[in-house]
Amino acid sequence: MSPLVSEIRHNPLLWLLALVPVVLVAQAFKPEAHTLLFVLSVAAIVPLAALLSRATESVAARTGDTIGGLLNATLGNLTELLIALAALRAGQYVLVKASIAGAIVTNALFMLGASFLLGGFSHRVQEYNRNTARLQAGLLFLATIAMLVPSVLAENDATRTTVAVTQTLSMGLSVLLIVTYGLGLLFSLKTHREFFASANHAESAEAKWPLTLALATLAGVTVLVAAVSEVFVESVQQAATALGMSPAFVGFIIVPLVGGAAEMVSAFSAARKDRLDLSVGIALGSAVQIALFVAPVIVLLSYVMVRRRWICSSGGARWR
Amino acid sequence: MSPLVSEIRHNPLLWLLALVPVVLVAQAFKPEAHTLLFVLSVAAIVPLAALLSRATESVAARTGDTIGGLLNATLGNLTELLIALAALRAGQYVLVKASIAGAIVTNALFMLGASFLLGGFSHRVQEYNRNTARLQAGLLFLATIAMLVPSVLAENDATRTTVAVTQTLSMGLSVLLIVTYGLGLLFSLKTHREFFASANHAESAEAKWPLTLALATLAGVTVLVAAVSEVFVESVQQAATALGMSPAFVGFIIVPLVGGAAEMVSAFSAARKDRLDLSVGIALGSAVQIALFVAPVIVLLSYVMVRRRWICSSGGARWR
Amino acid sequence: MSPLVSEIRHNPLLWLLALVPVVLVAQAFKPEAHTLLFVLSVAAIVPLAALLSRATESVAARTGDTIGGLLNATLGNLTELLIALAALRAGQYVLVKASIAGAIVTNALFMLGASFLLGGFSHRVQEYNRNTARLQAGLLFLATIAMLVPSVLAENDATRTTVAVTQTLSMGLSVLLIVTYGLGLLFSLKTHREFFASANHAESAEAKWPLTLALATLAGVTVLVAAVSEVFVESVQQAATALGMSPAFVGFIIVPLVGGAAEMVSAFSAARKDRLDLSVGIALGSAVQIALFVAPVIVLLSYVMVRRRWICSSGGARWR
């Protein structure tokens, strides 16, 4: 237990963990204080997300390169996935879409750009592995095109395209993106890893946690993030109105900043230490993961959820 | 005659040539058996296309680099041109457009991608001449923009753009693309050939045919391809309906596969032998040729044909 | 005064300066001879623009690299700015838009392409500084996207986007582009100048003018260009109709050729002398300057002018 305690003691960001029980208690006793719950839950997700990515990395470091790489690649944006799932279950489709788009943009533009800026202040010229950046920019470009296809089709053939065609197309493209993501991982982590050498996350000099602690933290924190995300999603609509923000703004700006705060700290500090490879790897890697893994998973799950709800409720036309 | 016979004996694909007389006889005696004629003509075009590109290469090899390069560059996709002309004469405009678009996509995406995949199975890292790929990708990009221009204009200024403007624009862009194609050939085959060295098709180690045989084969097979294309185009509509395929599907998928089968065999075998330059040259070169030469020629011919028909028929508003 | 006189004596283009008083006199006595005034003013702007860029360069060469670079970067396309301002004041919005778009296209496509062509006739292979071309192509791409954003938004959300939103967006993007232009200058002229070494305009071997002469020429010619631009804009509409040209054609083709004639002469002559770096620097640099500096300044000034006019006139709905 001591590595976790020492980690919390040395990282002021993690002191916000104290807010987690406060949120859950407040939700139980004052469910109508939406603005308070919103602010508290946003503040509580920051340290949970940080702890989650720390635990994922520790498990990854202990389980060998292949399984570890896979774990990092699938659970690295677990916070974003859990928030989007909570919003999806609550029928907040605007929030889902905005948080996915916002996470990609925040990672690929804001985190990367700010890393270049911060790095450029202290170092005149910085180098990074071109292969990593090219592969990931290529994957992002592919995902962008895949995301545009359904809307372009819908625009051109409004009369001819039925909802069913769009559904089939969206599901097909989602599966294609996930498969491409898997092949990209295989290519960069396994078969041609020497081309992507220095973008390795495992370079981080942090003390490794024992496997049991890491797994327990991973499980426990996942449950806590899911619970706090529920509170967040329930309170967001009325709180956003009260604070003068639209749900799209909350999804596009607040959720990505909250979910990615810990990663930003790492990317910025790496850029300042002239380890720009690490910054590029974190920022682009995270954007690629959301575009080619989290977003398609959400699309696939949304159809599963919609179908189940359709069957359960006799009057399915109520929502949508 | 013996090189042709030995070629046929050693290449199982060419045994399908036996179907050519079968098609023509069947067309004469059973013109209403559309599905049978469709399947037979598709199967008969494959070996004819293979023979056509073999004969073109042989003539090219015998007539020196400049005339040979020009021949290869203009007759390399003669099959696609003949099929498109037959479809144009029959008024099957969907088939014409789909077969042109399908040929570009099949060459630039499927043939190139499958070459990379097949080459990647046996060789970890493969090299190819960047200059060739860049020049040809640049030409393809230019052609894509030229093809988009008329439709973008038509979309934005629907009320103001008359049919006459679109015609003039299409013809101007077609001439521009053909001139660009010619200048590209001049650049890569004549003035700056040393930059594009290893993409040379003439590297192929096949036995060369005597010029007389090659020319005779070229002429004879062209006539046969034209005849079989007629049968194909006449039968395609009803056969496609019977087989549950749309004309767009036939044009986009079947025609390019049939017309390019022989080239695909060459490209894939070159990729497996780690001669990726040859694969890239065949796949991209063929796509560029269709986009910058075959398609503009079809556009120009279509206006000639339409004008002639317009003059011949007093009721020109019947077709469109 | 002698360097100016000797310059005029040796440069036949500058003999057209004799037309400047002719234009102003003709305007005073025959204000209704639109076609004559149009032709005269077009012919008079050519030498004025040449003199203006010569004076700017001389001031720049005398005031040190930083201030000089800044002067060159802001006053390099002063002619285009003055013509666009005259057209804006006269409410000729089509002419404003066409001349901005035309200036970018003429510089980035025609001047650059013709430089490559002319250079290629006398030199088989020409080299140029990639960093300059990449930075400026990147800036141009950014400006293109920024210019597309308002129209894309207006297209998609026609009902929801009010004019106010588009105005705020346009002004925000304009400020952003000007800031980006400034940062680009800082990057390429100050902090990382060694990467952009040979694209330096100051390499030109022309005799330098004394500072006083250069400043006086700059001030005097600016006034003359402004006066002739007034004549040009007042006559353009009726003259264009008389000569069978649309205002869009005049703005897109005539204005850029007139305003950039002197720069084209320099770029083409540099390309022929195998100093392609200088050609690329002039052509792309000028396009970037118009896209990221002149165009945003015009957008910002147009709102200032519109607002003032709105306040002055009680019936503001008359124009727009």
Residue B49 phi, psi (nearest 5): -60, -40
CB pairs under 8 A between A and B: 3
pLDDT single digits (tens) A144-163: 888 888 777 666 655 555 67
Chain B residues in contact with C125 (beta carbon < 8 A): 192
Q: Does A124 touch chain C (CB under 8 A)?
A: yes
Residue-level pLDDT, tens digit, chain A, 320 residues: 577 888 888 887 788 888 889 988 988 888 888 889 999 998 898 888 888 888 888 887 777 666 777 777 777 788 889 899 999 888 888 889 899 999 999 999 999 999 999 998 888 888 888 888 889 999 999 998 888 887 776 666 555 556 777 888 889 999 999 999 999 988 888 888 787 765 444 445 566 788 888 888 888 888 898 889 888 888 888 888 888 888 888 889 988 888 888 788 888 888 888 888 888 888 898 899 999 999 999 999 988 887 776 565 544 333 33
- Residue A22 corresponds to which tokens in the numbers above? 């406060």
Q: Are C99 and C255 in contact (CB under 8 A)?
A: yes
**Hey, is the C-beta of C192 within 8 angstroms of any chain A C-beta?**
yes
Distance from CA of C113 to the nearest CA of B (A): 14
Q: What is the pLDDT of residue A207?
A: 65
pLDDT of residue A313: 53
Q: Which pLDDT value is given to residue C198?
A: 58
What pLDDT, on the 0 to 100 scale, is given for residue A55? 83
| Residue from C168, C142, C170, C183 nearest C297 by CA | C170
Three-state SS letters, chain B: CHHHHHHHHHCHHHHHHHHHHHHHHHHHHCCCCHHHHHHHHHHHHHHHHHHHHHHHHHHHHHCCHHHHHHHHHHHCCHHHHHHHHHHHHCCCHHHHHHHHHHHHHHHHHHHHHHHHHHHHHHCCCCCCCHHHHHHHHHHHHHHHHHHHHHHHHHHHCCCCCCHHHHHHHHHHHHHHHHHHHHHHHHHHHHHCHHHHHHHCHHHCCCCCCCHHHHHHHHHHHHHHHHHHHHHHHHHHHHHHHHHCCCHHHHHHHHHHHHHHHHHHHHHHHHHHCCCHHHHHHHHHHHHHHHHHHHHHHHHHHHHHHHHHHHHHCCCHHHCC
Does the interface ipTM go beyond 0.85?
no
What is the pLDDT, as a whole number, of residue C112? 92
- Chain B residues with CB-CB distance to A191 below 8 A: 124
B124 in contact with A, Cβ within 8 Å: yes
C155 Cβ under 8 Å from any chain B Cβ: no
pLDDT band at B319 (very low <50, low <70, confident <90, very high): very low
pLDDT for B313 beyond 80: no
Q: How confident is the model over B63-80, as pLDDT tens digits?
A: 766 677 777 777 778 888
User: For B125, which residue in chain A has the nearest alpha carbon?
Assistant: A192
CB B217 within 8 A of CB B30: no
Instruction: Give the neighbours of chain B: at least 3 Cβ pairs within 8 Å.
Output: A, C
User: Model's pTM, two decimal places?
Assistant: 0.78
Count contacts between A and C (CB, < 8 Å).
3
- Low-confidence stretches of chain C (pLDDT < 50) are 199-203, 314-320
Instruction: Of B94-98, B170-174, C67-71, give the lowest mean pLDDT range.
Output: C67-71
Residue A249 pLDDT = 87
Cβ–Cβ contact C191 with A under 8 A: yes
pLDDT value, residue A191: 82
Model confidence over B270-306: pLDDT tens digits?
A: 888 888 888 888 889 889 999 999 999 999 998 888 7
Q: Does A191 touch chain B (CB under 8 A)?
A: yes
Contact of C124 with chain B, judged by CB distance below 8 Å, is answered with: yes
pLDDT for residue A74: 76
pLDDT of residue B154: 66
Distance between CA atoms of residues A180 and C248, nearest Å: 47
Give the pLDDT of residue C319: 36
Q: How far is A38 from chain B (nearest CA, A)?
A: 45
Min Cα separation A281/chain B (Å): 23
CA distance C84 to C229: 9
Residue in the block written with tokens 């640049």: B138
Average pLDDT of chain A is 83
Question: B192 and chain C: CB distance < 8 Å anywhere?
Answer: yes
For the stretch B213-264, pLDDT in tens is 888 888 888 889 888 888 888 888 888 888 888 888 888 998 888 888 878 8
pLDDT for A311 equals 60
Alpha carbon of A124: minimum distance to chain C alpha carbons (Å): 8
Query: What are the CA-CA distances from residue A22 to residues A12, A43, B53, C173 (Å)?
Result: 18, 11, 77, 43
- Chains touching chain C at 3 or more Cβ pairs under 8 angstroms? A, B
